[in-house]
Structure 1
Amino acid sequence: MSKDILIKKGLDIKLKGTAEKTSEKAILSNFYTLRPEDFHGVIPKLISKVGSKVKAGEPVFYDKSNEDVKFVSPVSGEIIEIERGEKRKILTIKIEADKTQSYVDYGAMDLSKADADTVKTRLLESGCWVFVKQRPYDVIANPNKAPKAIFISGYATAPLAADLDFTLKGKEKELQAAVTALGKLTEGQVHVSVGKSANSPLAELSGITVHRVSGPHPAGNVGTQINRIDPINKGEVVWTVSAQDLVIIGELLLTGKFNAERVVALVGSSIEKPRYFVTKIGSEVATMVYDKGISQDANARIISGNVLTGKQVKPDGNLDYYSNVITVIPEGDDYEFFGWNKPIFNKISTSRALTFSWLNPKKEYDLDTNTNGEHRAFVVTGSYEEVFPLDIYPMQVLKACMYKDLDEMEALGMYEVAPEDFALTEFICVSKQPHQKIIREGLDLMIKEIG
């Protein structure tokens, strides 16, 4: 039986460049890169060194604070470079892929007989545990603390997000294996959210509680769904898993092989032919972006992820470990003369002061990265609450993080939030404050001081 969730507060940012529902194999990358910075809070300890041969699914490094959490190679090949920064911090681990791929065989698992400890051990040793995140703090889950529930969002509402109904099609066996295994790790429920009118492969799985969600972004954010379904109180933990990561987990359990294959949407107004590619985690973005995508000299920004929460990558950069979208939009390095003092028809705004996007809510826009203003002190307008559906006060939470009042942060609901929950408030902020950065720093302070 499904339960309906209607989100009224939010904002749909409609951009040009939605991917056509056609997929093709990306050009095979010669090099794949692991970046420890993709795993927030992890201090990497190397297992392999330059010149080491690794198989797909073989551990490359582990978390210094928890040696059981291992990070594996997405491909088989040779480690050719380990880039370090200040204080010998590991920045990237570059792997040259073999022409013929070989895999570590962890063995297929009979889920009908497996218990929680067996499942947990398999996920940890195979590198699949990194796909399991926890709230509070939005970090890789602590395997030593059981969650009260597990949440999976199969409803993507972010601008130009990959259509999960399309990318998950035909993966029902893997999805079922993954949710069956995850269900053994909690005494609570496995909550799966799908679109209200969608025909999602996730909706037909057994052993889950299905929620049909409707409303503007951030209705698809797992944080919004947790807030509506089972809010987090002090001392409680919930786990979250991305829908596409379920496929990798499920395939590992069924076949014993870590297959880092991922369906990635190449989107954005700077892309000539937006579409889907089948590639692997850590692959070179150039294998997709420059294949009938954009010209080499285009003045565009490449983002691994969506425009609200993604990371900027260089043309020779690599796909983020958790991303299933590559967005390419114009670089906002030009300025309008008196742009603040004339009617605006080609930009999105929640304000009606000289802006007219509210007259045509279905219009698609060609936006660039220009912030259209400079950083300044907070201006109290009440606009954050219009796009923030969680039952907490966004302005007060942000200020508590800035002046580092832990008691106030706890009282205001910091245990529930992640940086992505504040992406929309950052987008509409007239003060141009970096909301996601402020929340991330606040959560890091809580981890350090409270644990």
Structure 2
Amino acid sequence: MSKDIRIKKGLDIKLVGEAVQTTTELSIGSTYAIKPNDFHGVVPKILAKEGTEVKAGDALFYDKSDDRILFPSPISGKVTEITRGERRKVLEIKISSNNKQEYSDFGKKDANEMTAEEIKSYLLASGCWPFIKQRPYDVIANPDKAPKAIFISAYATTPLAPDYDYILKGKEAEIQTAIDALSKLTKGKIHVSVEKYGKQSPFLNVNNIELHGLLGPHPVGNVSTQIAQVDPINKGEVVWIVNPQDLVIIGELFLTGKFNAKKTIALTGSEFKKPHYITVYSGAAIKEITKENLITDNTRIISGNVLSGTQVFEDGFLGYYDNQITAIPEGNDYEFFGWNKPVFDKISTSRALTFSWLHPDKKYNLDTNTNGEQRAFVVTGAYEEVFPLDIYPMQLLKSCLYQDLEEMEALGAYEIAPEDFALTEFICVSKQPHQQIIRAGLDLMKNELE
């Protein structure tokens, strides 16, 4: 391995409901949906109107700011409904499956015989480009800006995170093919990070990458943590990021000529009767994913993890980039004098009337209670204990709030994404929405400085 990435600052949140390593293949459901909100900053222009018959891989819409970036249907069927919100904003594009999967044929390709521009055009035409995201700003990558490096984190450390070594087993050919293609799109290196002492990762024998071993608590698995230690971003530079499962979809495109949006996701959390893995197509209906598996009605369903995922309901759909569905108890009960008594069943970084530090390996069944109300920022120094980046988190949050672009630049906003502030938000005694604040700050920077 090239360089170990080791951190001491952070916090592992151990919860009940880890997925057991068994996989069930979900049959093709009746309805799927693609949500433009999953693609931050994209203004959709509809290509497939209601009633349009589509195959898997056919474009449903494109980005208004760049008509080359297409967003494909994950399944074959008919576009039955385009749900709109205020000012006719497109919220969902629903596709009714025809119960058989038919693919658009983009043609098999050998990346080793293609130029960088040919590979880029192929990824754009097939709808695979949205899988490539960038820093700064944590948005879909700009095809016109070459990255100085590409980062892939193959070790997730978020609560109840899926095991990529298990999910990606047997996908070595697809991974190598995708790596060969992406390597032509950068003059720099492709950095892949895996668990330091893991022996099952399919990336261990992949060529054209620089492999790193990860050690330490969450957020060592976050790409920003890895970028900061391996190849920090300076003003004017761009780094690309690809999720390991999306890498498989890209590789399969080159090998078969088909856009196959099938992936394995983890069902996790204490409110699932059987936490395990299932294979589904992107945009699958939540009610079909969770069918006969939820324990109670008083449950919060999250598309993603508990720190940075999105709340969904049973009539909702799986997020485009999400590899996990989490179900935990809804925290809608009031705890009388909860602020003034010892706490035994919750995680805390403080030792004041709390005892989680005595049992570092204990797993907790936490609910969604915030245990307090939003108030002004309180300077406690706690953020720095769980924030491993060489950045002042409190000062950066405040600079985003009062919209000081120069200060945001100086404090390192180019290197971060909202997920990097999920832990500081979790421990925040002021109950401030850190990820929302950072997202607004990054949007302001992109609009004003691009």
| 1:273-312, Cα deviation, whole Å (9 max, x unpaired) | 1000011100011112123x115x5200000000000000
Match of 1:438 in 2: 437
8 Å contact 2:28–2:100 — kept in the other structure?
no
Structure 1 vs Structure 2: percent identity of aligned residues? 63
Query: SS at 1:92's partner residue?
Result: strand
8 Å contact 2:112–2:181 — kept in the other structure?
no
Match of 2:422 in 1: 423
Match of 2:28 in 1: 28
Match of 1:362 in 2: 361
5 Å-filtered alignment, 1:379-390, equals: 379-390=378-389
CA distance in 2, matches of 1:323, 1:76: 21
Residue 315 (structure 1) shift: 1.0
Query: SS at 2:81's partner residue?
Result: strand
The one-letter code sitting in structure 2 at the alignment partner of 1:441 is A
User: Is 1:168 equivalent to 2:178 in the alignment?
Assistant: no
The one-letter code sitting in structure 1 at the alignment partner of 2:358 is L
Match of 1:247 in 2: 248
Match of 2:83 in 1: 83
User: Is 1:311 equivalent to 2:316 in the alignment?
Assistant: no
CA distance in 1, matches of 2:391, 2:432: 19
Moved more, 279-288 or 185-194: 279-288
Match of 2:230 in 1: 229
5 Å-filtered alignment, 1:201-216, equals: 201-216=202-217
| 1:289-345, Cα deviation, whole Å (9 max, x unpaired) | 123x115x5200000000000000011111000000000000010111000100000
Residue 27 (structure 1) shift: 4.0
CA distance in 2, matches of 1:449, 1:423: 25
Residue 370 (structure 1) shift: 0.4
Residue 169 (structure 1) shift: 0.4
Match of 2:323 in 1: 324
5 Å-filtered alignment, 1:16-415, equals: 16-198=16-198, 199-291=200-292, 293-295=293-295, 298-415=297-414
8 Å contact 1:71–1:130 — kept in the other structure?
yes
Structure 1 segments unaligned to the other structure (5+ residues) = none
Residue 248 (structure 1) shift: 0.5
8 Å contact 2:28–2:97 — kept in the other structure?
no
Query: SS at 1:175's partner residue?
Result: helix
CA distance in 1, matches of 2:291, 2:372: 32
TM-score w.r.t. the length of structure 1 is 0.99
Residue 272 (structure 1) shift: 1.0
CA distance in 1, matches of 2:258, 2:27: 22
CA distance in 2, matches of 1:54, 1:369: 39
Residue 406 (structure 1) shift: 0.3
Cα RMSD, aligned residues only: 0.7
Query: SS at 1:210's partner residue?
Result: strand
CA distance in 1, matches of 2:192, 2:41: 27
CA distance in 2, matches of 1:129, 1:160: 28
CA distance in 2, matches of 1:287, 1:212: 37
8 Å contact 2:303–2:312 — kept in the other structure?
yes
CA distance in 2, matches of 1:330, 1:4: 37
Residue 99 (structure 1) shift: 1.6
Query: SS at 1:253's partner residue?
Result: helix
Large movers: runs of 4+ above 4 Å? none
Query: SS at 1:81's partner residue?
Result: strand
Residue 197 (structure 1) shift: 1.0
8 Å contact 2:29–2:99 — kept in the other structure?
no
The one-letter code sitting in structure 1 at the alignment partner of 2:301 is I
The one-letter code sitting in structure 1 at the alignment partner of 2:105 is D
Residue 100 (structure 1) shift: 1.6
The one-letter code sitting in structure 1 at the alignment partner of 2:353 is L
Query: SS at 2:415's partner residue?
Result: coil
Residue 28 (structure 1) shift: 2.7
The one-letter code sitting in structure 1 at the alignment partner of 2:245 is Q
Residue 210 (structure 1) shift: 0.2
CA distance in 2, matches of 1:344, 1:85: 43
Residue 26 (structure 1) shift: 1.7
TM-score w.r.t. the length of structure 2 is 0.99
Query: SS at 2:318's partner residue?
Result: coil
Residue 190 (structure 1) shift: 0.3
Match of 1:9 in 2: 9
CA distance in 1, matches of 2:27, 2:316: 15
